[in-house]
Chains A and B, each alone.
Chain A
Amino acid sequence: MTRSDGMTNVLWLQGASCGGCTMSILESGASGWFDELRQFGINLLWHPSVSEQTGEEVVEVLEAVLDGEVPLDLLLLEGSIARGPNHTGRFNMLAGTDRSVYRWMVDLAPRADYVVAVGSCAAYGGVPAAGSNPTDAVGLQFEGSDAGGALGAGFRSRLGLPVINVAGCAPHPGWMMETLLALMSKDLSATELDAYGRPKFIANHLAHHGCSRNEFYEFKASAESMSERGCLMEHLGCKATQAVGDCNQRSWNGGGSCTKGGYACIACTSPGFEGAQNFLETAKLAGIPVGLPTDMPKAWFVALAALSKSATPRRVRLNATSDHVVVPPGRSGGKRSP
């Protein structure tokens, strides 16, 4: 679809959402997100948090898209689809329209060149789907890790792609912008998505890659309680060796990440992450963490762990259970050998 003005029309809606993905993307762009959108020729048809149009004016925009008067390049949903109660969608009505967001999305999605699920809620159901899932919340094309969701497993947008899932709770602003721009340049084909619809440029990495606690991981020198510097995997629930995402290869808010922040990766990019319990404790069987790296024989992992523990330098061992560096790097005494 070509626009006479060369602009790309983007419509952003929110379902059963906390708004956190929007809060995250507002951090994007050196001169602000709006300037970034302008630079890339993106026209926000409407966005619930930032657009001027309200009330009737919004309904006019949505109906113009439904009627095909306004072409829709990208349809983005933030938040899960609350299908309840009894498939009415009434837990999440689009105000002023007497129609649920569920219904709006089912009607709008076939109009879009591409449909993007922004965040793990829109992708898989996310936190609203936790526990008893009181609102029957699902993702656009997944219900947890099962294909289906609000639009159905067979859904394809106008240009033939399934829903593109920018998972994460909330996703890094770069994940969202890079996905949009890669779609605009037609660089994100179906082969560039993993089995859960996530762009591979994000999902081909593990959150563990680049973790600043890596030396502690290598030696299995583990933190035992919150705020200690050691590896968070053995005791404090960290799933970074199993969760996809280039989290520790990027800077979050100018330099952070979950594990840099001192707490476990909870695998927020994974379908169904919200179903876990005791997020900050490692589940173990016979003293061995249940969740080990998925592509490594367990016996090898246990053997290597035992070996590395026995070889752990004193510095690493002591720092692991301290909140400050108590033993700095350096020689443990003696003169430089010739």
Chain B
Amino acid sequence: MTRITIGPFNRVEGDLEVRLDVEEGHVVRAEVTAPLYRGFEQILAGRPPLDALVLAPRICGICSVSQSVAAAAALRDAMGCEAAPNGLLATNIAHAAENAADHLTHFYLFFMPDFARETYSAHDWYGATSERFAAVRGNAAREALPARTRLLETMGIIAGKWPHSLAFQPGGTTRAIDLGERVRLLSIATAFRSFLERVVFADSLENVLAIATAEELDRWRDGRSGDFSWFLRLADSLRLADLGRGPGLLMSYGAYHGMNGELFPRGIFAPRATVEPLPLAQITEDVSHAWMRESSADPAYSTTVPDPDKAQAYSWCKAPRLSGQPIEVGAIARQTIAGQALVADLVSASGSNVRNRVIARLIETACIALAMEQWIKALRLSEPFCVNSRDIADGAHVGLVEAARGSLGHWVAVRGGKIERYQIIAPTTWNFSPRDSLDVGGPLEQALVGTDVGEAGPRAVAIQHIVRSFDPCMVCTAH
């Protein structure tokens, strides 16, 4: 058996180290390390609760709005108030813009460049793929980056700037939108739709979302241009559906809260089972392999205190579990639980894997591009965007949202008008968790086992595909 270490692992948000035990060219055990700890939960303790709106978003530059929205939701719970309906809509519009921008960034900047690696030079698709998707020099970024920039102009109207905005408050958003601005928002959403329809899908979003089965997808993509079809052909050529199978359980906290529930519902999904309600009280964190001191397993009561010399530990990341089990989160979980026809069909056939994760992300991008248009039109311009309330009750409160990469929860305990404890479980905390006390690995650790690394060892590109298919955000992971 040989042990190989891979790091710095880039084109993930932040840094990552992966250690693999390899026997006869196959991974038999994987350990995933989050190598950065900054101590946000320690920094937040003792502060006025509303300071969380300034500090918590700064955990992450790529999903800063998600962190804001989770903090605002936890504080709204603490205030016992409702947000202004316009504030919820404006939050959803900005949050959708961030999530869609993240999906684009992942696809074009983080994930696809691996197919332009020299190792694939013998494939007939290599030349064109390298020209289009190679890191930094590929021509796809020349279209994708300006499209992302334009989409993020949503933030200039709703949130002042991105990343790191204070526009997302417990009672709504801080800026009323007027008619001219609504039109500008619509024009941004329309430009984004046009980019998706022209460059990503080469078809209308409605047609894309009408694809309901794997067979229909095969027919649809036959002879079609566009980067999504391009990826589907690579996925077939390299059998990406056989790569990086997740643990099976999927979870979503529910995404884009409105006055009438969520756009994508909350729930859990187990293979060969139906979608079920989420037993929130069954969320725990295990620190047996984290450089952290023992604390309550319940995030509402746990604290975060580093223990850098702890034996057996190998990550700054705690190991969250639902009913004692590791669980995968992300677009594939959200869309499966939402019953999106194509994603549900793919997952029922082959589970969660490299191909299906990427498909789910792009299909979700199409869904939220359409939803953005509806939310923009639904704003009632003469009504308030923010309800003000400042009374924060002592007690334990929680804010749960879906970031681009999956389920994000903020648990805040308030006492005497100050934050007593703050606990955050981010999407990649779930996906890239270390082992728990039963020696059960996290979703990525499980997904890597069995991978054929052949002669390439640490340079095996299959490892790159698997890791990046989760769209990890390592800066959120251990925070």
- What residues make up the interface of A, taking CB atoms closer than 8 Å to B? 14, 16-24, 26-27, 29-35, 37, 44, 46-59, 82, 85, 88, 90-97, 127-128, 130-135, 137, 169-170, 225-227, 251-264, 266, 268, 274, 277-280, 323-324
Contacts of A127 in B (CB 8 A): 38, 43, 55, 58
Task: From A14, A19, A91, A324, name the one whose CB has the most chain B CB atoms within 10 angstroms.
Answer: A19
Kindly identify, within residues 1 to 48 of chain B, every residue whose CB is under 8 Å from any CB belonging to chain A.
5-11, 13-17, 33, 35-39, 42-48
On whether the beta carbons of B163 and A20 are closer than 8 Å, the reply is yes
A49-B10, A256-B160 given as contacts; is B152 within 8 A of A27 (CB)? Answer: yes
A31-B142, A132-B42, A279-B54 given as contacts; is B37 within 8 A of A226 (CB)? Answer: no
A85-B306, A91-B306, A134-B38 given as contacts; is B10 within 8 A of A48 (CB)? Answer: yes
Contacts of B384 in A (CB 8 A): 227, 323
Task: From B45, B58, B173, B175, name the one whose CB has the most chain A CB atoms within 10 angstroms.
Answer: B58
**Shortest distance in angstroms between B131's beta carbon and chain A's nearest beta carbon?**
14
On whether the beta carbons of B152 and A278 are closer than 8 Å, the reply is no
Question: 1/0 per position for B129-169, CB-CB distance to A under 8 A?
Answer: 00000111100011111101110111111111111111101
On whether the beta carbons of A253 and B156 are closer than 8 Å, the reply is yes
A95-B8, A130-B43, A323-B384 given as contacts; is B136 within 8 A of A226 (CB)? Answer: no
**Shortest distance in angstroms between A139's beta carbon and chain B's nearest beta carbon?**
14
On whether the beta carbons of A54 and B160 are closer than 8 Å, the reply is no
Interface size class of chain B, counting residues whose CB lies under 8 Å from the partner chain = 35 or more
**Residue B172 contacts which of A33, A94, A227 (CB distance < 8 angstroms)?**
A227
User: Is B50's beta carbon under 8 Å from chain A?
Assistant: yes
Q: A226-B388, A253-B162, A278-B48 are in contact. List 19 more A-B contacts (CB 8 A).
A: A19-B14, A20-B64, A23-B62, A29-B146, A34-B142, A35-B142, A37-B136, A51-B10, A53-B10, A55-B6, A88-B308, A133-B43, A225-B388, A227-B384, A261-B161, A262-B174, A263-B160, A264-B166, A324-B178
Q: A170 vs B39: C-alpha distance in the bound complex, in angstroms?
A: 19
On whether the beta carbons of B39 and A279 are closer than 8 Å, the reply is no
User: Is B96's beta carbon under 8 Å from chain A?
Assistant: no
On whether the beta carbons of B458 and A277 are closer than 8 Å, the reply is no
User: Is B320's beta carbon under 8 Å from chain A?
Assistant: no
**Residue A96 contacts which of B7, B161, B165 (CB distance < 8 angstroms)?**
B7
User: Is B464's beta carbon under 8 Å from chain A?
Assistant: yes
User: Is B53's beta carbon under 8 Å from chain A?
Assistant: yes
On whether the beta carbons of A130 and B55 are closer than 8 Å, the reply is yes
User: Is B386's beta carbon under 8 Å from chain A?
Assistant: yes
19 contacts between A and B (CB under 8 A): A29-B145, A30-B146, A48-B10, A49-B13, A51-B135, A51-B136, A52-B113, A55-B6, A82-B38, A90-B308, A95-B8, A95-B33, A130-B43, A132-B39, A137-B38, A255-B153, A259-B160, A264-B166, A280-B54
On whether the beta carbons of B11 and A49 are closer than 8 Å, the reply is yes
Q: Which chain B residue lies CB-closest to A264?
A: B166
On whether the beta carbons of A135 and B9 are closer than 8 Å, the reply is no
Q: A54 vs B472: C-alpha distance in the bound complex, in angstroms?
A: 15
User: Is B274's beta carbon under 8 Å from chain A?
Assistant: no
User: Is B182's beta carbon under 8 Å from chain A?
Assistant: no
Contacts of B145 in A (CB 8 A): 26, 29, 31-34
Q: A132 vs B163: C-alpha distance in the bound complex, in angstroms?
A: 25
Q: Which chain B residue lies CB-closest to A259?
A: B160
Q: A186 vs B157: C-alpha distance in the bound complex, in angstroms?
A: 36
User: Is B105's beta carbon under 8 Å from chain A?
Assistant: yes
Contacts of B137 in A (CB 8 A): 34
Contacts of B38 in A (CB 8 A): 16, 82, 91, 127-128, 134-135, 137
Contacts of B475 in A (CB 8 A): 17-19
Task: From B8, B48, B136, B153, name the one whose CB has the most chain A CB atoms within 10 angstroms.
Answer: B8
Q: A226 vs B175: C-alpha distance in the bound complex, in angstroms?
A: 8
Q: A89 vs B470: C-alpha distance in the bound complex, in angstroms?
A: 28
User: Is B60's beta carbon under 8 Å from chain A?
Assistant: yes
Question: 1/0 per position for B89-118, CB-CB distance to A under 8 A?
Answer: 000000000000000010001100110110
Q: A134 vs B384: C-alpha distance in the bound complex, in angstroms?
A: 40
5 nearest CB pairs, A to B: A261-B160, A20-B61, A96-B7, A95-B7, A134-B39
Contacts of A46 in B (CB 8 A): 10
Question: 1/0 per position for B73-102, CB-CB distance to A under 8 A?
Answer: 000000000000000000000000000000
On whether the beta carbons of B7 and A55 are closer than 8 Å, the reply is yes
Q: A183 vs B166: C-alpha distance in the bound complex, in angstroms?
A: 33
On whether the beta carbons of A280 and B135 are closer than 8 Å, the reply is no
Task: From A18, A21, A127, name the one whose CB has the most chain B CB atoms within 10 angstroms.
Answer: A18
Contacts of B33 in A (CB 8 A): 95
Contacts of A27 in B (CB 8 A): 148-149, 152
User: Is B351's beta carbon under 8 Å from chain A?
Assistant: no
User: Is B59's beta carbon under 8 Å from chain A?
Assistant: yes
Q: A337 vs B388: C-alpha distance in the bound complex, in angstroms?
A: 43
Question: 1/0 per position for B374-398, CB-CB distance to A under 8 A?
Answer: 0000000010111010000000000
Contacts of B163 in A (CB 8 A): 18, 20, 23-24, 170
On whether the beta carbons of B164 and A169 are closer than 8 Å, the reply is yes
Q: A94 vs B5: C-alpha distance in the bound complex, in angstroms?
A: 12
Task: From A22, A49, A274, name the one whose CB has the most chain B CB atoms within 10 angstroms.
Answer: A49
Contacts of B53 in A (CB 8 A): 279-280
Task: From B10, B176, B316, name the one whose CB has the most chain A CB atoms within 10 angstroms.
Answer: B10
On whether the beta carbons of A258 and B385 are closer than 8 Å, the reply is no
**Shortest distance in angstroms between A78's beta carbon and chain B's nearest beta carbon?**
9
On whether the beta carbons of A226 and B386 are closer than 8 Å, the reply is yes
Contacts of B43 in A (CB 8 A): 127-128, 130-134
A96-B8, A134-B42, A227-B384 given as contacts; is B148 within 8 A of A26 (CB)? Answer: yes
